Amino acid sequence: MSKFINIGDPHIRLTAPRSRNDNIKEVFEDKFNQINELAKRENVDYILCNGDLFDRANCNVETLSFVEKLIKLLEFDVILSVGNHSLIGNTMNNFEKSMIYLLDRLCDNLIILRENNSLELDDCILHFNHYGNDNFIIDDLNESKPNIIVSHSMIVKEKEFFTCISAEDIETNADLILNGHNHSYFQVGKVLNIGALVRLTTSKGDMDREVRVAILSVADKNIDIKEVKLNISDYKEVFDVKQVMKKKDILSEAMLGKLNDSIKQISSVKDILSIVMKDEVYDKEDLSLLQDYLGDDILWD
Protein backbone atom coordinates (compact mmCIF):
# COMPACT_ATOMS: atom_id res chain seq x y z
CA MET A 1 0.00 0.00 0.00
CA SER A 2 1.14 3.56 -0.79
CA LYS A 3 0.07 6.25 1.65
CA PHE A 4 0.21 10.05 1.28
CA ILE A 5 -0.69 13.24 3.09
CA ASN A 6 -1.99 15.82 0.61
CA ILE A 7 -1.59 19.50 1.53
CA GLY A 8 -2.73 22.65 -0.26
CA ASP A 9 -0.90 25.88 -1.09
CA PRO A 10 1.38 26.95 1.80
CA HIS A 11 2.41 30.42 0.42
CA ILE A 12 5.35 30.56 2.84
CA ARG A 13 6.47 34.08 3.73
CA LEU A 14 8.22 35.85 6.61
CA THR A 15 5.93 38.86 7.06
CA ALA A 16 2.37 38.51 8.26
CA PRO A 17 -0.52 40.11 6.35
CA ARG A 18 -1.42 43.42 7.99
CA SER A 19 -4.68 42.11 9.39
CA ARG A 20 -3.10 39.16 11.21
CA ASN A 21 -1.97 39.76 14.78
CA ASP A 22 0.16 36.66 15.26
CA ASN A 23 3.68 35.59 14.30
CA ILE A 24 3.39 34.14 10.80
CA LYS A 25 6.68 32.22 11.05
CA GLU A 26 5.37 30.42 14.14
CA VAL A 27 2.13 29.68 12.26
CA PHE A 28 4.01 27.98 9.41
CA GLU A 29 6.23 26.06 11.83
CA ASP A 30 3.17 24.87 13.74
CA LYS A 31 1.44 23.69 10.55
CA PHE A 32 4.49 21.77 9.34
CA ASN A 33 4.97 20.23 12.79
CA GLN A 34 1.33 19.12 12.80
CA ILE A 35 1.75 17.60 9.35
CA ASN A 36 4.92 15.78 10.38
CA GLU A 37 3.34 14.33 13.53
CA LEU A 38 0.24 13.28 11.59
CA ALA A 39 2.41 11.63 8.94
CA LYS A 40 4.24 9.64 11.61
CA ARG A 41 1.00 8.55 13.31
CA GLU A 42 -0.53 7.50 9.99
CA ASN A 43 2.69 5.84 8.80
CA VAL A 44 2.60 7.59 5.42
CA ASP A 45 5.19 7.23 2.67
CA TYR A 46 5.06 10.68 1.09
CA ILE A 47 3.72 14.19 1.50
CA LEU A 48 2.11 15.60 -1.65
CA CYS A 49 1.91 19.39 -2.05
CA ASN A 50 -0.33 20.94 -4.71
CA GLY A 51 1.90 23.96 -5.39
CA ASP A 52 2.67 27.55 -4.32
CA LEU A 53 5.19 26.49 -1.72
CA PHE A 54 6.61 30.03 -1.91
CA ASP A 55 4.51 33.16 -1.73
CA ARG A 56 7.04 34.96 -3.96
CA ALA A 57 9.19 33.38 -6.65
CA ASN A 58 11.97 35.97 -6.24
CA CYS A 59 12.05 36.03 -2.44
CA ASN A 60 15.17 36.86 -0.42
CA VAL A 61 17.72 34.40 0.93
CA GLU A 62 16.22 34.60 4.43
CA THR A 63 12.87 33.36 3.12
CA LEU A 64 14.58 30.62 1.11
CA SER A 65 16.39 29.48 4.25
CA PHE A 66 13.12 29.41 6.20
CA VAL A 67 11.37 27.33 3.52
CA GLU A 68 14.34 24.95 3.49
CA LYS A 69 14.03 24.59 7.27
CA LEU A 70 10.32 23.74 6.99
CA ILE A 71 10.85 21.14 4.25
CA LYS A 72 13.67 19.49 6.21
CA LEU A 73 11.48 19.51 9.33
CA LEU A 74 9.31 16.95 7.55
CA GLU A 75 10.72 13.46 8.06
CA PHE A 76 9.29 12.28 4.75
CA ASP A 77 9.86 12.80 1.06
CA VAL A 78 7.86 15.80 -0.18
CA ILE A 79 6.51 15.53 -3.74
CA LEU A 80 5.66 18.93 -5.18
CA SER A 81 3.61 20.26 -8.06
CA VAL A 82 4.89 23.72 -9.01
CA GLY A 83 2.49 26.65 -8.65
CA ASN A 84 2.50 30.12 -10.18
CA HIS A 85 3.66 31.89 -7.01
CA SER A 86 6.86 29.82 -7.06
CA LEU A 87 7.68 30.82 -10.65
CA ILE A 88 9.03 34.13 -11.91
CA GLY A 89 6.62 35.31 -14.59
CA ASN A 90 4.20 32.47 -13.75
CA THR A 91 5.86 30.14 -16.26
CA MET A 92 7.82 26.89 -16.01
CA ASN A 93 10.23 28.38 -18.55
CA ASN A 94 11.66 30.40 -15.66
CA PHE A 95 11.96 27.47 -13.25
CA GLU A 96 15.75 27.71 -13.07
CA LYS A 97 15.56 31.47 -12.38
CA SER A 98 13.21 31.01 -9.40
CA MET A 99 14.01 30.16 -5.79
CA ILE A 100 12.21 26.84 -6.15
CA TYR A 101 15.14 25.71 -8.33
CA LEU A 102 17.65 26.39 -5.52
CA LEU A 103 15.38 24.81 -2.93
CA ASP A 104 15.25 21.65 -5.03
CA ARG A 105 19.02 21.39 -4.70
CA LEU A 106 19.12 22.19 -0.99
CA CYS A 107 16.54 19.63 0.17
CA ASP A 108 17.29 15.95 -0.38
CA ASN A 109 13.73 15.04 0.61
CA LEU A 110 12.11 17.33 -2.01
CA ILE A 111 10.97 15.73 -5.28
CA ILE A 112 10.05 18.00 -8.22
CA LEU A 113 9.63 16.34 -11.59
CA ARG A 114 10.04 18.48 -14.72
CA GLU A 115 11.41 16.42 -17.58
CA ASN A 116 9.28 13.31 -17.00
CA ASN A 117 6.06 14.51 -15.39
CA SER A 118 5.01 11.11 -14.05
CA LEU A 119 6.25 9.06 -11.13
CA GLU A 120 5.39 5.37 -10.89
CA LEU A 121 5.17 4.02 -7.34
CA ASP A 122 4.34 0.54 -6.09
CA ASP A 123 0.57 1.08 -5.98
CA CYS A 124 -0.14 4.12 -8.17
CA ILE A 125 1.20 6.50 -10.80
CA LEU A 126 1.44 10.24 -10.07
CA HIS A 127 1.20 12.76 -12.91
CA PHE A 128 2.11 16.43 -12.44
CA ASN A 129 0.24 19.33 -13.99
CA HIS A 130 2.48 22.23 -13.01
CA TYR A 131 0.98 25.72 -13.38
CA GLY A 132 -0.10 26.38 -16.96
CA ASN A 133 -1.01 22.79 -17.79
CA ASP A 134 -4.80 22.38 -17.82
CA ASN A 135 -4.86 19.11 -19.76
CA PHE A 136 -6.26 16.28 -17.65
CA ILE A 137 -6.06 13.54 -20.28
CA ILE A 138 -3.09 11.23 -19.63
CA ASP A 139 -1.38 10.01 -22.80
CA ASP A 140 -0.36 6.35 -22.89
CA LEU A 141 -2.41 5.62 -19.78
CA ASN A 142 -1.25 2.65 -17.72
CA GLU A 143 -4.42 1.12 -16.32
CA SER A 144 -2.66 -1.47 -14.16
CA LYS A 145 -2.56 1.04 -11.28
CA PRO A 146 -4.62 4.07 -10.19
CA ASN A 147 -3.53 7.29 -11.94
CA ILE A 148 -3.49 10.47 -9.83
CA ILE A 149 -2.91 13.96 -11.24
CA VAL A 150 -1.33 16.51 -8.88
CA SER A 151 -2.42 19.83 -10.36
CA HIS A 152 -2.18 23.59 -9.92
CA SER A 153 -5.05 24.84 -12.09
CA MET A 154 -7.92 27.24 -11.37
CA ILE A 155 -10.56 24.56 -10.90
CA VAL A 156 -13.74 25.65 -9.11
CA LYS A 157 -16.67 23.80 -7.58
CA GLU A 158 -19.17 25.36 -9.95
CA LYS A 159 -19.05 27.83 -12.82
CA GLU A 160 -17.94 31.37 -11.94
CA PHE A 161 -17.82 34.68 -13.80
CA PHE A 162 -14.02 34.77 -14.00
CA THR A 163 -11.76 32.56 -16.12
CA CYS A 164 -11.72 29.14 -14.50
CA ILE A 165 -12.40 25.45 -15.02
CA SER A 166 -15.58 23.93 -13.61
CA ALA A 167 -14.86 20.63 -11.87
CA GLU A 168 -18.01 19.18 -13.40
CA ASP A 169 -16.78 19.96 -16.93
CA ILE A 170 -13.35 18.34 -16.63
CA GLU A 171 -12.65 15.47 -18.98
CA THR A 172 -10.06 13.09 -17.59
CA ASN A 173 -8.99 9.48 -17.71
CA ALA A 174 -7.27 9.82 -14.34
CA ASP A 175 -8.76 8.23 -11.23
CA LEU A 176 -8.23 11.32 -9.06
CA ILE A 177 -7.16 14.95 -9.45
CA LEU A 178 -5.54 16.61 -6.42
CA ASN A 179 -5.70 20.34 -7.10
CA GLY A 180 -4.21 23.51 -5.63
CA HIS A 181 -4.36 27.19 -6.70
CA ASN A 182 -7.95 27.52 -5.46
CA HIS A 183 -7.70 28.23 -1.72
CA SER A 184 -11.17 26.88 -0.85
CA TYR A 185 -11.97 23.28 0.01
CA PHE A 186 -14.28 21.21 -2.19
CA GLN A 187 -14.66 17.71 -3.60
CA VAL A 188 -16.57 17.24 -6.85
CA GLY A 189 -16.42 14.09 -8.94
CA LYS A 190 -12.78 13.11 -9.39
CA VAL A 191 -11.47 16.47 -8.13
CA LEU A 192 -10.31 17.03 -4.54
CA ASN A 193 -9.23 20.57 -3.70
CA ILE A 194 -8.08 20.39 -0.08
CA GLY A 195 -7.68 24.18 0.34
CA ALA A 196 -4.76 26.42 1.29
CA LEU A 197 -2.67 25.52 4.34
CA VAL A 198 -2.83 28.95 6.02
CA ARG A 199 -5.46 31.70 6.18
CA LEU A 200 -3.80 34.80 4.73
CA THR A 201 -6.62 37.11 3.64
CA THR A 202 -9.46 38.82 5.48
CA SER A 203 -12.12 37.91 2.97
CA LYS A 204 -15.10 36.06 4.35
CA GLY A 205 -14.57 32.40 3.51
CA ASP A 206 -10.81 32.54 4.06
CA MET A 207 -10.59 34.26 7.43
CA ASP A 208 -12.95 31.78 9.13
CA ARG A 209 -12.05 28.80 6.93
CA GLU A 210 -11.23 25.37 8.37
CA VAL A 211 -7.76 24.12 7.43
CA ARG A 212 -7.57 20.51 6.23
CA VAL A 213 -5.22 17.94 4.81
CA ALA A 214 -6.13 14.63 3.17
CA ILE A 215 -4.71 11.18 3.87
CA LEU A 216 -4.71 8.97 0.78
CA SER A 217 -4.30 5.21 1.03
CA VAL A 218 -3.81 3.43 -2.29
CA ALA A 219 -3.96 -0.36 -2.56
CA ASP A 220 -5.41 -2.98 -4.91
CA LYS A 221 -6.35 -0.28 -7.45
CA ASN A 222 -8.47 1.52 -4.82
CA ILE A 223 -7.97 5.02 -3.41
CA ASP A 224 -9.25 5.72 0.09
CA ILE A 225 -9.44 9.37 1.17
CA LYS A 226 -9.65 10.54 4.78
CA GLU A 227 -9.77 14.26 5.55
CA VAL A 228 -8.18 15.62 8.72
CA LYS A 229 -8.69 19.11 10.15
CA LEU A 230 -5.56 20.78 11.49
CA ASN A 231 -5.58 22.70 14.76
CA ILE A 232 -6.02 26.43 14.18
CA SER A 233 -6.80 29.41 16.38
CA ASP A 234 -10.17 31.12 16.29
CA TYR A 235 -10.13 33.82 13.61
CA LYS A 236 -11.02 36.45 16.23
CA GLU A 237 -7.71 35.69 17.96
CA VAL A 238 -5.74 35.68 14.71
CA PHE A 239 -7.13 38.64 12.78
CA ASP A 240 -7.71 42.27 13.69
CA VAL A 241 -11.48 41.97 13.48
CA LYS A 242 -12.08 45.68 14.19
CA GLN A 243 -9.90 46.61 11.23
CA VAL A 244 -11.72 44.11 9.04
CA MET A 245 -15.14 45.47 10.03
CA LYS A 246 -14.00 49.03 9.41
CA LYS A 247 -12.96 48.14 5.88
CA LYS A 248 -16.20 46.26 5.38
CA ASP A 249 -18.22 49.32 6.38
CA ILE A 250 -16.33 51.49 3.90
CA LEU A 251 -16.49 49.17 0.91
CA SER A 252 -19.76 49.05 -0.97
CA GLU A 253 -22.01 46.09 -0.26
CA ALA A 254 -22.30 45.40 -3.99
CA MET A 255 -18.54 44.97 -4.25
CA LEU A 256 -18.28 42.90 -1.09
CA GLY A 257 -20.79 40.33 -2.27
CA LYS A 258 -18.76 39.36 -5.31
CA LEU A 259 -15.40 39.77 -3.58
CA ASN A 260 -16.25 37.43 -0.72
CA ASP A 261 -17.54 34.80 -3.12
CA SER A 262 -14.47 35.00 -5.33
CA ILE A 263 -11.39 36.07 -3.37
CA LYS A 264 -11.34 32.82 -1.45
CA GLN A 265 -10.83 31.05 -4.78
CA ILE A 266 -8.76 33.44 -6.87
CA SER A 267 -4.97 33.55 -6.41
CA SER A 268 -4.22 36.50 -8.70
CA VAL A 269 -5.26 40.12 -8.20
CA LYS A 270 -5.45 40.46 -11.98
CA ASP A 271 -8.55 38.27 -11.88
CA ILE A 272 -10.05 40.32 -9.05
CA LEU A 273 -9.47 43.63 -10.79
CA SER A 274 -10.97 42.30 -14.00
CA ILE A 275 -14.12 41.40 -12.08
CA VAL A 276 -14.41 44.80 -10.42
CA MET A 277 -13.49 46.97 -13.41
CA LYS A 278 -15.89 45.27 -15.83
CA ASP A 279 -18.93 46.02 -13.67
CA GLU A 280 -20.12 49.60 -14.08
CA VAL A 281 -22.13 49.39 -10.86
CA TYR A 282 -18.98 49.71 -8.80
CA ASP A 283 -17.66 53.06 -7.64
CA LYS A 284 -14.08 53.24 -8.95
CA GLU A 285 -13.00 55.12 -5.80
CA ASP A 286 -13.54 51.86 -3.91
CA LEU A 287 -10.54 50.38 -5.71
CA SER A 288 -8.18 52.27 -3.40
CA LEU A 289 -9.57 50.22 -0.52
CA LEU A 290 -9.41 46.88 -2.30
CA GLN A 291 -5.88 45.89 -1.33
CA ASP A 292 -6.45 46.76 2.34
CA TYR A 293 -9.58 44.62 2.36
CA LEU A 294 -7.61 41.68 1.00
CA GLY A 295 -5.33 42.01 4.03
CA ASP A 296 -2.00 42.48 2.29
CA ASP A 297 -0.23 41.95 -1.02
CA ILE A 298 -0.58 38.17 -0.80
CA LEU A 299 -2.54 38.11 -4.03
CA TRP A 300 -0.55 40.77 -5.87
CA ASP A 301 1.84 39.27 -8.41
pLDDT tens digits for range 151-169: 999 999 877 656 789 999 9
- In CATH terms, the fold of domain 2-229 is Purple Acid Phosphatase; chain A, domain 2 (3.60.21)
Q: Distances from the Cα of 252 to the Cαs of 236, 255, 257, 272, in angstroms? A: 23, 5, 9, 15
pLDDT above 90 covers what percent of the chain?
60
Question: Binning pLDDT at 50, 70 and 90, where does residue 204 land?
Answer: low
Question: Binning pLDDT at 50, 70 and 90, where does residue 134 land?
Answer: very high
Q: Where in the chain is the domain with CATH 3.60.21.10?
A: 2-229
Question: Binning pLDDT at 50, 70 and 90, where does residue 170 land?
Answer: very high
- Dump pLDDT digits (tens) for 187-199: 999 999 999 999 8
Contact between 157 and 147 under an 8 Å Cβ cutoff? The reply is no
- Residue 25 pLDDT > 90: yes
- Overall average pLDDT of the 276-293 stretch: 50
